[in-house]
Structure 1
């Protein structure tokens, strides 16, 4: 049986889907949401507005030998419902992993947030072996949801 190639976590957050979406589509706020500790800051980015947008983040991690940048290619965008992107080392095409945030209103000021880290699109076996997916653990994704809840409260 093949190993699952994605991790999905959920949390109900006491904020409207609009307020949650406002935070998620602002790359300036991604460092405060990051439960993995890799995201340091955005690199002069604009708010995410559509599929096809690209935003750049300043990162740090032993898996890349320290400081590096990523280009994040927006793959999903539905106002107040969904935003997602595929990450790549800056200046390269995404090798196949994706971050997806799905928002489901549970009333006017409560939102069920589903956060998925999916590396099923990575086909480069050398990269799979090198990176050792999943690079981010389920507990770190849950921490990102807790940080999101704090950011919108």
Structure 2
């Protein structure tokens, strides 16, 4: 068991180390960075890249259904904007830009979600199973249920006490 745990831990550390070595090399390549990286349908996205600093670029967001857009030089990078269509389906889409000078092609991923907050969505409310819950929305019904249970408990205790004394039921 320990040998398996050590093997798995060693493998995980090796994979993590390779990921750390590979990530900076990819980041220096001047890829396309959408902000925000996760957006709801109908939301606006700003795209940044350092690959096309000398001139503009032609952007393509047709994978998500937004079509073509223009990137223009801004300070030390090139930026552009587009709006994700309200009909966009959830998923990960590749956004592409082609630099005006040199024709370099850079890409980036955009995630379309149904919720405005990234992360796990927690369900709310009750499940309609027909069984009912312990606490309803009506406080009068809840109080009536508690009273019925208290009366039943008191009656059961009284009957058991009577039977133990020998009075019969």
Q: Which has the higher contact order (CA 8 A, sep 6+)?
A: 1
Structure index of larger Rg: 2
On whether the aligned pair clears a TM of 0.5, the verdict is no
TM-score (norm: length of structure 2): 0.28
TM-score (norm: length of structure 1): 0.30
More helix by share: 2
